[in-house]
């Protein structure tokens, strides 16, 4: 029977961060997950605290930490250290990030013709962070036949002053489309297919030349060009350099509808970092049960094709996500249930889950539902006493955050995963496992 010092359930940002940090400490780590997590849905940046009132992520952390029950109340002081720790791991996977906690939150344009506040983005999106100079143009360059990115509609929307909240914006937004080699006869083109083609050096060179000609045909010069986020997957760093060198305007990617190519790059970089540290990743099997002896979890059992797969463990990190990720399940009687350990869920009564106004600026009370923990991320009961000595909870499963509305989900996930591993550092660790791989 396989064994590990730490089992992590969940393969999102929180789970993989916890796994990497634990493996680096010398622990044998095994990640189990039923599927891919929010990395494959998100835009690939690191949203730390993008609330409207904040000028920088650090300011946003301070404001959120002052809210009773918010995870930043006890995690806020560790965000900077966790962010600096993860950067070299991502860079080793070919994914450089630009910006830090003191970078001003800037409105960056999106592929649906809106804007969102951001300060820490992958290098492929980072050109969108700089303030717009007087007279600077923005070219929206689409790909002929690619239906997930409509340059005319995006440009029309971004030309409206109110989209930029009356602040700094480009002087003009101009759409253009380019026909890329071999795609004209394709139906239902998707981002993943185009990104894989950019990984091919020969196709890439021809495609970039076509893009350069199309952009050069637009009146004016310089400025920036927004591209759909399809600039390679495995070879993204090389593609980005080639695009930056050849295009007549500073390029940046706009994330698209899921599956997110930038998010897939982030997942790949995290997974590679874990494997380098000696950890194992197993994706695609449901957790059947967790065995425990009193206050100590002893094993995790997952369902396999014709049997069960059991991993004995010295500790468990629960990073299964919130309601959207299946980490919390709603029952017909109006209760929310945590399905792995049966932990108590902090949530309002069912009648108060949703606001009367579907678009209430304050959000819906249900958003804050989750598991309450102590400062060491051990789950606690109603009396505040910890329920398990060797269990830690991380990510959007934590109670008290509105991770989408507050744009703090990545910061909470990263910091709680890092904190969880550090708080488990006293768990006896054996020799690091042989580098593993993802099982089907």
pLDDT band at 36, cuts 50/70/90? confident
- How many Cβ atoms from other residues are within 10 Å of residue 141's Cβ? 24
Per-residue pLDDT, 235: 97
Interval 351-368: pLDDT, tens: 888 888 888 887 888 889
Mean pLDDT of 38-54: 93
pLDDT per residue as tens digits for the range 76-90: 999 999 999 999 999
Question: For residue range 104-119, what is the model confidence (pLDDT) as tens digits?
Answer: 999 999 999 999 999 9
Q: What's the pLDDT at 429?
A: 44
* Cα–Cα nearest to 178, from 213, 230, 150, 229: 213
- Give 58 or 363, the one with higher predicted confidence: 58
**289, 364 contact by CB (below 8 A):** no
CA 72 to the chain's CA centroid: 18
Tell whether the torsion through CA atoms of 273, 278, 284 and 287 is positive or negative: negative
Say whether pLDDT at 57 is over 50: yes
Residue 232 has which token pair? 């390679």
What is the structure's pLDDT at 365? 85
1 falls in which pLDDT band (50, 70, 90)?
A: low
Nearest alpha carbon to residue 142 among 223, 214, 237: 214
Taking all residues of the chain, what is their mean pLDDT, rounded to a whole number? 92
The per-residue DSSP string of 276-344 comes to: HTT-EEEES--EEEEEEETTEEEEEEEE-SSSEEEEEES-EEE---STTTTSSEE-TTS-EE-TTT---
Residue 100 has pLDDT above 50, yes or no: yes
Give the pLDDT band (50/70/90) at residue 331.
confident
392 closest CA partner among 2, 76, 13, 18: 18
Q: Which two tokens stand for residue 90?
A: 């991502």
* Structure confidence at residue 437 (pLDDT): 41
With beta carbons less than 8 A apart as the criterion, state whether 83 and 414 touch.
yes
Q: What does the pLDDT look like over 214-240, one tens digit per residue?
A: 999 999 889 999 999 999 999 999 999
3-state secondary structure of 20: helix
- Give yes or no for a contact between 129 and 119, defined as CB atoms under 8 angstroms apart: yes
The label of the residue with tokens 């920036």 reads 224
Rounded to two decimals, what is the model's pTM? 0.93
Q: What are 167-215's pLDDT values in tens digits?
A: 999 999 999 999 999 997 788 899 999 999 999 999 999 999 999 999 9
Residue 307 region by backbone torsions, left for phi larger than 0, else alpha for psi between -120 and 50, else beta: beta
Provide the 3-class DSSP secondary structure of residue 76: helix
Q: How far is 382 from 379, CA to CA, in rounded Å?
A: 10
Residue 304 clears pLDDT 80, i.e. is over it: no
Top pLDDT among 264 and 431 is at: 264
**8 A C-beta contact, residue 56 and residue 103:** yes
């Amino acid at each position: 029977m396989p064994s590990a010092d730490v089992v992590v359930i969940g393969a999102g940002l929180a789970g993989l961060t916890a796994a990497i940090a634990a493996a680096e400490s010398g622990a044998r780590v095994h990640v189990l997950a039923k599927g891919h997590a929010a990395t494959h849905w998100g835009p690939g940046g690191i949203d730390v605290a993008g609330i409207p009132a904040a000028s920088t992520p650090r300011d946003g952390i301070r404001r959120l930490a002052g809210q009773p029950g918010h995870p930043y109340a006890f995690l806020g002081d560790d965000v900077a250290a966790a962010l600096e720790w993860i950067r070299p791991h991502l860079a080793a996977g070919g994914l450089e990030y630009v910006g830090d906690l003191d970078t001003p939150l800037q409105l960056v344009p999106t592929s649906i013709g809106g804007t969102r506040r951001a300060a820490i983005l992958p290098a492929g999106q980072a050109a969108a962070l700089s303030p717009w100079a007087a007279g600077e143009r923005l070219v929206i360059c689409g790909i002929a036949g690619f239906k997930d990115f409509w340059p005319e509609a995006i440009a029309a929307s971004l030309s409206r002053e109110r989209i930029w909240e009356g602040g700094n914006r480009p002087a003009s937004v101009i759409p253009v489309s380019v026909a890329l080699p071999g795609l004209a006869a394709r139906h239902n083109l998707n981002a993943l297919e185009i990104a894989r083609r950019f990984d091919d050096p020969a196709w890439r060179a021809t495609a970039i030349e076509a893009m350069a000609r199309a952009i050069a045909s637009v009146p004016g010069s310089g400025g920036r060009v927004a591209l759909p986020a399809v600039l390679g997957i495995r070879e993204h760093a090389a593609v980005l350099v080639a695009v930056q060198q050849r295009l007549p305007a500073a390029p940046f990617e706009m994330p698209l509808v899921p599956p997110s190519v930038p998010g897939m790059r982030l997942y790949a970089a995290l997974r590679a970092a874990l494997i380098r540290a000696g950890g194992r990743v197993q994706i695609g099997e449901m957790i059947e049960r967790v065995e425990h002896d009193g206050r100590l979890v002893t094993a995790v059992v997952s369902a396999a094709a014709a049997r069960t797969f059991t991993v004995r463990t010295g500790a468990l990190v629960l990073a299964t996500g919130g309601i959207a990720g299946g980490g919390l399940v709603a029952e017909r009687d109006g209760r929310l249930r945590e399905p792995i350990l049966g932990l108590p869920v902090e949530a309002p009564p069912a009648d108060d889950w949703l606001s009367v106004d579907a678009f209430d600026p304050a959000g819906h009370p249900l958003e804050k539902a989750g598991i309450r923990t102590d400062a060491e991320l051990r789950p606690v009961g109603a009396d505040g006493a910890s329920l398990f000595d060797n269990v830690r909870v991380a990510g959007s499963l934590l109670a008290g955050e509105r991770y989408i509305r507050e744009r703090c989900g990545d910061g909470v996930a990263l910091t709680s995963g890092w904190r969880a591993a550090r708080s488990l550092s006293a768990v006896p660790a054996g020799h690091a496992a042989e580098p593993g791989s993802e099982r089907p």
